[in-house]
Amino acid sequence: MTRTRKRLALALAVALAAGLGAGAATASEGAELPKQHWSFDGLFGTYDRAAAQRGFMVYNTVCAACHGLSLVAYRNLAGVGFKDDEIKAIAAAKEVQDGPNDQGEMFARPGRPSDRFAKPFANDNAARAANNGALPPDLSLITKARKGSADYLYALLTGYKDAPADMKMMEGMNYNAVFPGNQIAMVAPLAEGAVEYADGTKPTVPQMARDVATFLTWAAEPEMEERKRMGVKVLLFLIVLTAMLYALKRQIWKDLH
């Protein structure tokens, strides 16, 4: 009886694992993404504040020209360690449309910490018109919306290469090793020294790609650190509780059969 039971349990566990494995396998189609090591990996991962702040700088100087970050507010930047006065300065450097005022006019004013990140284009059509018909996606959720998350972003940003000789490139498209179909409308956005880091880090392309991938992972999952911290406590509590319930179960069932 117990042997059958164990076999039953094992078979189902194997089957379940196979099913989950199948799900994971389908998630990894497309180009192979080399697994990078990130500060936010694992059960205790946190965002490397310095990298995220450098990443913000890359976003702000390079990406923000075309890509919005519409779900993030300037005040949220406190999450990667910016001070209140720094956030005020970052927001104030942007022009935000407000209104209507009591004359019924829309007006521009400097941004405030409570504003969402300013959008680069008034609407999608304006964005397409400025980008050869391509629509630069909003980056607020980009790491959650792509298979491979930060690894994908890093591989994409460092994946610009010369097109193979036998490949026919469409007009205005650029060759990228990891982009689906290998033809991407975005011109290689990062070039050595595209930004000047305040902390003296050397702005190489891989360095900037890593930093902006860290920043955008934070932008997509700003709750991650709190989530993982709480998760560790919850799991520890549940493991102790379950062990106690098991002991109690043994105690209560002791006198049976």
Partner 1 sequence: MAAKSYSNPIVKWIEYRLPIFSFLDHELNEYPTPKNLNYWWNFGSLAGIVLVIMIATGIVLAMSYTPHVDYAFESVERIMRDVNYGWLLRYIHMNGGSMFFIIVYIHLFRGMYYGSYKAPRELLWIIGVVILLAMMATAFMGYVLPWGQMSFWAATVITNLFSAVPLIGESIVTWLWGGFSVDNPTLNRFFSLHYLLPFVIFALVFVHLWALHVHKSNNPTGVDIMGPQDTIPFHPYYTIKDMFGLGVFMIVFMFFVFFAPNFFGEPDNYIKADPLVTPTHIVPEWYFLPYYAILRAITFNIWFIPAKLIGVVAMFGSILILLLLPWLDRSKVRSATFRPVYKQVFWVFVVDCFILGWVGANTPDAEFHGLKMLWIGQAATFYYFFHIIILIPLISVLETPKPLPDSISQAVTPGGAS
Per CB under 8 A, residues contacting partner 1 are 1, 4-5, 8-9, 11-12, 15-16, 18-19, 22-23, 25-27, 29, 43, 71, 76, 137, 140-141, 144-147, 180, 220, 222-223, 227-228, 230-232, 234-235, 238-239, 241-242, 245-246, 248-249, 252-253, 256-257
CB closer to partner 1, 72 vs 96 = 72
CB of 238 to partner 1, least distance (A): 5
Q: Considering the complex, what minimum distance in angstroms separates the CB of residue 105 from partner 1? A: 25
Question: What is the number of other CB atoms lying within 10 angstroms of the CB of residue 70?
Answer: 14
Please tell me whether the peptide bond between 137 and the residue prior to it is cis, using omega within 30 degrees of 0.
Answer: no
Q: Which residues pair with 73 in a beta bridge?
A: 116
Q: At residue 121, what is the residue type?
A: F
For partner 1, the closer CB: 154 or 207: 154
Write down the least CB distance from residue 163 to partner 1, Å: 22
Find the shortest distance in angstroms from Cβ 17 to partner 1. 10
- Between 120 and 205, CB nearer to partner 1: 120
Q: Are 12 and 6 in contact (CB under 8 A)?
A: no
CB of 23 to partner 1, least distance (A): 5
> Minimum distance from CB of 203 to partner 1 (Å)?
29
Distances (CA, A) of 188 to 22, 91, 178, 203, 247: 35, 27, 13, 15, 61
Q: Residue 113 or 137: which CB sits closer to partner 1?
A: 137
In the chain, the DSSP E strands lie at 95-98, 107-110, 174-175, 183-184
Q: State which residue, 29 or 85, has the beta carbon closest to partner 1.
A: 29
Sequence-distant (6+) residues with CB within 8 A of 92 are 110, 111, 112
- Cβ closest to partner 1, residue 165 vs residue 252: 252
Go through 160-190 and write b for each residue having 16 or more CB atoms within 10 A of its CB, e for each that does not. Answer: beeeeeeeeeeeebbbbebbeebbbebeebb
